[in-house]
């Protein structure tokens, strides 16, 4: 539902590429006006403001948060800025939509949740894939018992080549490589679809075998805005694999990569239950027994219903509704904490070579 007669005044902190999806989401809502943008690069912020007709431009987010008329912000900065900026915004009385990962670690994420609670403000995590139609259809199937007991799940977000360099490849700013960048999406998706079970143990390996390989030819490439081709710094993992066990007895096999010697990139989520199974990528399909035959069924979904622009618009609209209607948030900060616990455990298990038991 849109609120035709109410204008909410929002801000963007971090004018990088992901923020543009947020802006497009805000721009289609008649009840919202983005009035401020902040970026550490002044010219980038000015160009952004001109493009989107934003009246206030800042390079210091703390000055931006002093705007009394500002009600909420999207935090779309480097990962190491998520916690301090969001906490300051919450303490300044602003609602926050923070991009994933919520923080650099679970401790920071919990501090963000505590700040939101103390100030009675919304803290929403940018788990945008929760707004895919097929994800919610599959979630409903699990809730209805169509798959029975889901005891095993496989998921992966694998790129043949996809290290953006720049801050992404600098662990001090990003917190890690494909685990924290890509893995966060699919691990959260599995928890969301299966009723948010809590992880109890993690066994993982990370690999630093191939490096960034910025000179590879024949592939379309995306580089971070701050990537320096003269100094392609990289100290994060190429790939990772993990076995994650949950308190409901479910086991998750997870893999991810930025650089891997494979035929093609792929993204998959496969659920296995004792009544039926399901595949979410590239199309949603269900596998079950009927009349002593194995059968496959596929729902008809509208073409383009889950493209990036559409799911970001759904996410932004939900954030606005959470504030205006005080409805429960689909992506609460506490869910970001649980994911950060898992990501912390993946890195710790890989570093120690031992299984990590979560308390």
Is 90 among the domain residues? yes
**Percent of the residues in the chain that have a pLDDT greater than 70, as a whole number:** 98
Pairing of strands 251-257, 266-273: unpaired
Residue 4 has pLDDT above 50, yes or no: no
Give me the pLDDT at residue 2, please. 37
Q: Could you give the CA distance from residue 233 to residue 230 in angstroms, rounded to a whole number? A: 9
Say whether both 297 and 207 belong to one domain.
yes
**For residue range 110-135, what is the model confidence (pLDDT) as tens digits?**
999 999 999 999 999 999 999 999 99
Give me the pLDDT at residue 351, please. 98
Mean pLDDT, rounded, for 8-13? 96
Say whether both 137 and 113 belong to one domain.
no
**For residue range 42-98, what is the model confidence (pLDDT) as tens digits?**
999 999 999 999 999 999 999 999 999 999 999 999 999 999 999 999 999 999 999
- pTM, whole model, 2 decimals? 0.95
Give me the pLDDT at residue 225, please. 87
Give me the pLDDT at residue 190, please. 98
**For residue range 271-310, what is the model confidence (pLDDT) as tens digits?**
999 999 999 998 999 999 999 999 999 999 988 889 999 9
CATH number for 89: 3.40.50.720
**For residue range 24-56, what is the model confidence (pLDDT) as tens digits?**
999 999 889 999 999 999 999 999 999 999 999
Is 334 among the domain residues? no
For 22, 28, 40, 140, 281, the CA distances from 134, given in Å and listed in that order, are 21, 23, 37, 10, 9
Say whether both 29 and 106 belong to one domain.
yes
Q: Could you give the CA distance from residue 84 to residue 82 in angstroms, rounded to a whole number? A: 6
Q: Could you give the CA distance from residue 101 to residue 271 in angstroms, rounded to a whole number? A: 24
Say whether both 38 and 164 belong to one domain.
no
Is 333 among the domain residues? no
Q: What is the mean pLDDT of the chain?
A: 95
Strand order in the sheet with 32-38: 56-58, 32-38, 8-13, 72-75, 95-99, 123-126
Q: Could you give the CA distance from residue 182 to residue 315 in angstroms, rounded to a whole number? A: 18
Tokens of 87: 């906490």
Tokens of 41: 């690069």
Give me the pLDDT at residue 6, please. 53
**For residue range 207-237, what is the model confidence (pLDDT) as tens digits?**
999 999 988 888 888 899 889 998 889 999 9
Say whether both 91 and 155 belong to one domain.
no
Are the C-beta atoms of residues 11 and 70 closer than 8 Å to each other? yes
Token pair 């919202």 in the structure block, residue: 32
> Domain range for residue 136?
132-308+340-357
Helices (H), 28-154: 42-52, 61-64, 79-91, 106-119, 133-143
Count of domains forming the chain = 2
Say whether both 234 and 250 belong to one domain.
yes
Is 332 among the domain residues? no
Say whether both 189 and 235 belong to one domain.
yes
Give me the pLDDT at residue 168, please. 96
With H, G, I as helix, E, B as strand and everything else as coil, classify residue 226: coil
Residue 1 has pLDDT above 70, yes or no: no
Say whether both 191 and 88 belong to one domain.
no
Say whether both 56 and 121 belong to one domain.
yes
CATH number for 268: 3.30.360.10
Say whether both 221 and 121 belong to one domain.
no
Strand order in the sheet with 276-279: 293-297, 285-290, 276-279, 266-273, 150-158, 251-257, 239-246, 199-207, 356-357
Say whether both 109 and 167 belong to one domain.
no
Say whether both 213 and 263 belong to one domain.
yes
Mean pLDDT, rounded, for 148-152? 98
């Amino acid at each position: 539902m849109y609120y035709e007669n109410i204008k909410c005044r929002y801000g963007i902190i971090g004018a990088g590429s992901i923020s543009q999806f947020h802006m497009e989401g805000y721009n289609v809502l008649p009840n919202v006006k983005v009035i401020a943008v902040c970026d550490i690069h002044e010219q980038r912020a000015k160009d952004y403001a001109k493009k989107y007709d934003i009246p206030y431009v800042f390079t210091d987010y703390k000055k931006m948060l002093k705007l009394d008329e500002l009600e909420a912000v999207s935090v779309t900065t480097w990962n190491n800025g998520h916690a301090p900026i969001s906490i300051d915004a919450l303490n300044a009385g602003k609602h926050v939509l923070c991009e994933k990962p919520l923080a650099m670690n679970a401790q920071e994420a919990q501090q963000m949740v505590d700040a939101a609670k103390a100030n009675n403000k919304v803290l929403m995590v940018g788990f945008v894939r929760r707004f895919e139609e097929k994800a919610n259809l599959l979630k409903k199937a699990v809730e209805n018992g169509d798959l029975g007991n889901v005891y095993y799940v496989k998921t992966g977000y694998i790129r043949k080549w996809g290290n953006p360099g720049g801050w992404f490849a600098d662990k001090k700013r990003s917190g890690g490589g494909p685990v924290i960048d890509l893995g966060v999406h699919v691990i959260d998706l599995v928890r969301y679809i299966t009723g948010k079970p809590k992880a109890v143990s993690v066994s993982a390996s990370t690999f630093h075998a191939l490096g960034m390989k910025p000179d590879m030819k024949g592939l379309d490439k995306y580089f971070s805005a701050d990537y320096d081709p003269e100094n392609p710094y990289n100290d994060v993992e190429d790939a990772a694999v993990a076995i994650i066990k949950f308190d409901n007895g479910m086991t998750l096999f997870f893999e991810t990569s930025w650089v891997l010697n494979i035929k093609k990139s792929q993204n998959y989520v496969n659920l296995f239950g004792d009544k039926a199974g399901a595949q979410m990528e590239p199309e949603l399909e269900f596998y079950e027994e009927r009349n002593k035959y194995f059968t496959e069924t596929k729902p008809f979904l509208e073409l383009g219903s889950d493209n990036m622009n559409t799911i970001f618009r759904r996410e932004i609209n939900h954030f606005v509704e959470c504030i205006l209607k005080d409805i429960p948030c689909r992506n609460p900060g506490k869910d970001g904490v649980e994911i950060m616990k898992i990501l912390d455990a993946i890195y710790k298990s890989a570093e120690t070579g031992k299984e990590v038991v979560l308390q």
